Amino acid sequence: MLKRRIIPKFLLRDGRLVKYTRFFDHEREAGNPVSTARVYNDYGADEFIILDIAPSEESRRKVLASIAEISAQVFMPLTVGGGVRSLAHITDLLRAGADKVTLNTQAVRAPDFVKQAAQAFGDQCITVSIDYKEVSPKVFRVFVDGGRERTAYDPTEWARRMQDQSCGEILITSIDRDGTSSGYDVDMVARLNEALDIPLVVSGGCGGLQHCIDAFSAGASAVAISSLFLFTDHSPIKLRSHLVSNGINVRASKSSRN
């Protein structure tokens, strides 16, 4: 069985590390992305996810500079995304130090682009990010453009379609739970786990160690975490120890910190 992964998730706005609730509310500054990445690296995170949530030409330059600096100082795989529209942009991110690139809005605008990117760079390099919201009781829809635009797609159906387009993994984020610390949407995790053959990373709502156990028990391959690490005393190594004690298959920690 593949080992489950612990992945801090960074949101960058104009190069600043920030966090919101439900994508838009209660902006909080969360420190310097490079120094914070170094801390998580020391605490034994498995990977990092870094998303540019307000992409522009100026923001893109700042993100590329941050990725280059982070990749020179940490030794965990980096998944980077936000406003990726072209193979040239993917090339820029990989050259800067990203190991994987995540696609979201462009995957909806041009689904064939996912397959083109997978063919050009390898499917292991391409993650599709799916943001979704409950629009009526038990009815969920995919949203793009940073959660601003509703599509007609059901998250499970869309994830299967992206798998067919040869993406290497799916990152699923509940807009309703984002930043609320109310727990992951384990029902959605279970549905996607049943539907997919590729790894599933779950994001949105982690507020405690038990929430991660719940997500892994539902079938997640990895948990992406922002608020729990940024604004509490919990760390990747503390979470890893808790997971091990509860029988979750994670890799051994490199750090003795707690």
Whether this model's pTM surpasses 0.85: yes
For residue 258, pLDDT beyond 50? no
Residues forming a β-bridge with 5: 222
Hey, is 169 helix, strand or coil? strand
Question: Which range among 39-43, 124-128, 134-138 shows the weakest confidence by mean pLDDT?
Answer: 39-43
| 145-184 pLDDT tens trace | 999 999 999 999 999 999 999 999 999 999 999 999 999 9
For residue 20, pLDDT beyond 50? yes
- Mean per-residue pLDDT for 216-223? 98
**pLDDT computed for residue 16 by the predictor:** 85
Percent helix, strand, coil in the chain, to 5, is 40, 25, 35
The 8-class DSSP code of residue 195 comes to H
| 51-67 pLDDT tens trace | 998 888 888 898 899 99
- Structure tokens of 184? 């992951």
The closest alpha carbon to 155, from 164, 167, 143, 166, belongs to 143
**pLDDT computed for residue 154 by the predictor:** 98
For residue 2, pLDDT beyond 90? no
- Rounded CA separation 230/177 (Å): 17
The closest alpha carbon to 133, from 111, 118, 155, belongs to 155
For residue 239, pLDDT beyond 80? yes
In this prediction, residue 255 has a pLDDT band, given cuts at 50, 70 and 90, of very low
Tokens 């786990």 sit on residue = 193
Interstrand relation of 78-81 and 16-21 (parallel, antiparallel or unpaired): unpaired
Question: Is 181:205 a contact under the CB 8 Å cutoff?
Answer: yes
**pLDDT computed for residue 60 by the predictor:** 86
- Rounded CA separation 79/76 (Å): 10
Report percent pLDDT > 90 for the chain.
82
Interstrand relation of 78-81 and 126-136 (parallel, antiparallel or unpaired): unpaired
**pLDDT computed for residue 1 by the predictor:** 59
| 178-199 pLDDT tens trace | 999 999 999 999 999 999 999 9
- Rounded CA separation 196/27 (Å): 34
Question: Is 70:97 a contact under the CB 8 Å cutoff?
Answer: yes
- Rounded CA separation 168/88 (Å): 19
Report percent pLDDT > 70 for the chain.
97
- Structure tokens of 76? 């965990």
Question: Which range among 32-36, 109-113, 245-249 shows the weakest confidence by mean pLDDT?
Answer: 32-36
For residue 218, pLDDT beyond 90? yes
CATH match for 5-245 among 3.40.1350.10, 3.20.20.70, 3.50.50.100, 3.90.1150.10:
3.20.20.70
Alpha carbons within 13 A on the beta-carbon side of 44: 18
- Mean per-residue pLDDT for 220-246? 95
Question: Is 33:10 a contact under the CB 8 Å cutoff?
Answer: yes
